[in-house]
Amino acid sequence: MRDICVVGLGAIGLPLAVQFASKGHLVAGADAQPEVVAAVAAGQPPSAHEAELAERLAEVVADGRLRATTDTAAAAAGAEAIVIVVPLVTHPEGDPDFSALDAATDAVAGGLRRSTLVSYETPLPVGTLRGRFARRLEAGSGLVAGRDFGLVFSPERVRTGRIFADLRHYPKLVGGIDEASTEQGAEFYRSVLDFDPRPDLEHPNGVWPLDSAEAAEFAKLAETTYRDVNIALANQFARYADRVGVDLGQVIEACNSQPYSHLHRPGIAVGGPCLPVHPRLYLWNDPHAGVVRAAREANEAVPGYAVGLLEGALGPLGGVGVGVLGASYRGGVRETTQSGVFALVDALRAAGAEPYVSDPLYLPEELAALGLPADEGKPVGALVIQADHPEYRELGSVDFPGVRVLLDGRRITDPARWEGVRRIVLGGGGV
């Protein structure tokens, strides 16, 4: 049994803390937000949309295996392993904002003891662990990284809504600032995680040690940046398909029928805490990566392109009510981080339309608090599906009398249900 500290009880950190506690370890969860700490201490997740979390959290809190605190230094002082999962965001110009991670690092340093393992799971620009956080930990603790305490980077590789399943399904990458740190980190993660058999992998599923912290940092940014670039290519293909009258969905299905093509599908926005952010973290160290930069710019332009398609089908949008379905960045998830809804609303307003946003996971007052114009039941002439919530699959024209055009930005609706309404999809060839 280990004493573990998890710093940051957000969408990723809290399930991690619960996972560690479920393996029989004693976990102190630290977070700077008192309301989060109070909810966790009461055995209630701040968000109710993570599979298995509510039941598992209640169990480990009731058993005394997980406690929560705002005193990060004290929690770190009592731990033999510290896992830091505080989000790293970017400024509007793309540079990373290290303020929250710096504060968490300084608090950990204040309680850091010899022989402790410190693991960062927050995606970082390559070289950040060694060049920034090792130095801050040393300055705040008086200890030397690699000699007095282990230091590794082990990126989270999970998706909100299915975190516990992903923890079992994907190999856990671990790279340290030296060989001893890597070994210590690998041994720790073997003791807190379980893994599903994966006959499709070249190596057995489990903890995968990498040669260095930099390799682990690079691996995380590479796997997410790949997806952003792939989606950008699909979105570029969608524009061409619309010009030449070809259904891109059929083209992608045909291409992916052989093993060397893995084309993603186009979509109205690329949102969330990962895909829009990680390419920027990569570009921070490799500013001449033109492919990555062009892909990010291409994806950011899709909401505006979608509004142009709407104008082409409906005519000038001045004064037209447009219902926007979905505030979340993706279906089934109650999260608006980097959601395309914000750019979409801005583009609709720029075209003179009057957008109204609704989402089955948000109350109208919650949308208003996010700066979004909540649906007030006013008549609308068009609809735009921004998030692929499963509820939208069953919608049809009978649910929205008076709507003339549907722009399905996620290809989630059934065309047969929209008789009498012009239905547009990205890359649908104008259909």
| CATH number of domain containing 16 | 3.40.50.720
Question: Which position among 5, 23, 172, 220 bears the catalytic label?
Answer: 220
Report yes or no on 231 lying in a domain.
no
Looking at the structure, tell me whether residues 169 and 54 fall in a common domain. yes
Q: Quick one: pLDDT at residue 104?
A: 98
The model's pTM is: 0.94
Q: Quick one: pLDDT at residue 48?
A: 64
Report yes or no on 224 lying in a domain.
no
Q: Quick one: pLDDT at residue 93?
A: 83
Report yes or no on 216 lying in a domain.
no
Q: Contact 326/340 with Cβ under 8 angstroms?
A: no
Q: Which residues contact 240 (CB under 8 A, 6 or more apart)?
A: none
pLDDT at 306 over 90: yes
Task: Give the position of tokens 């339309």.
Answer: 353
Q: State the Cα torsion 181-183-188-191 to the nearest 10°.
A: 180
Looking at the structure, tell me whether residues 402 and 331 fall in a common domain. yes
Report yes or no on 308 lying in a domain.
yes
pLDDT at 378 over 90: no
Report yes or no on 413 lying in a domain.
yes
Band of residue 430 on the pLDDT scale cut at 50, 70, 90: low
Q: Quick one: pLDDT at residue 130?
A: 98
Question: Which residue range forms the structural domain that includes residue 390?
Answer: 247-431
Question: Which position among 172, 255, 274, 378 bears the catalytic label?
Answer: 274
pLDDT 10s digits, 385-416? 999 999 999 999 999 999 999 999 999 999 99
Average pLDDT over residues 288-311: 97
Q: Contact 337/272 with Cβ under 8 angstroms?
A: yes
Q: Contact 29/106 with Cβ under 8 angstroms?
A: no
Looking at the structure, tell me whether residues 333 and 404 fall in a common domain. yes
What is d(CA 394, CA 399) in angstroms, rounded to the nearest whole number? 10
* 255 annotated active-site: no
Looking at the structure, tell me whether residues 282 and 207 fall in a common domain. no
**338 token code pair:** 């980097």
What is d(CA 329, CA 273) in angstroms, rounded to the nearest whole number? 9
**429 token code pair:** 């060839």
Looking at the structure, tell me whether residues 279 and 329 fall in a common domain. yes
Q: Contact 156/12 with Cβ under 8 angstroms?
A: yes
Least confident of 72-76, 241-245, 283-287, 425-429: 425-429
* 274 annotated active-site: yes
Report yes or no on 240 lying in a domain.
no
% of the chain beyond a pLDDT of 90: 94
pLDDT at 227 over 90: yes
Looking at the structure, tell me whether residues 384 and 272 fall in a common domain. yes
Q: Contact 418/431 with Cβ under 8 angstroms?
A: no
pLDDT at 46 over 90: no
Q: Quick one: pLDDT at residue 1?
A: 80
Residue 48's φ and ψ, nearest 5 degrees, are -100, 15
What domain count does the chain have? Answer: 2
Q: What is the largest CA-CA distance in the chain?
A: 71
Report yes or no on 398 lying in a domain.
yes
Please, what is the average pLDDT of the chain?
96
Question: Exposed e or buried b for every residue in 185-204, given b needs 16+ CB within 10 A?
Answer: bbebbebbbebeeeeeeeee
Helices 53-62 and 13-22, axial angle in degrees (round to 10):
50
Band of residue 431 on the pLDDT scale cut at 50, 70, 90: low
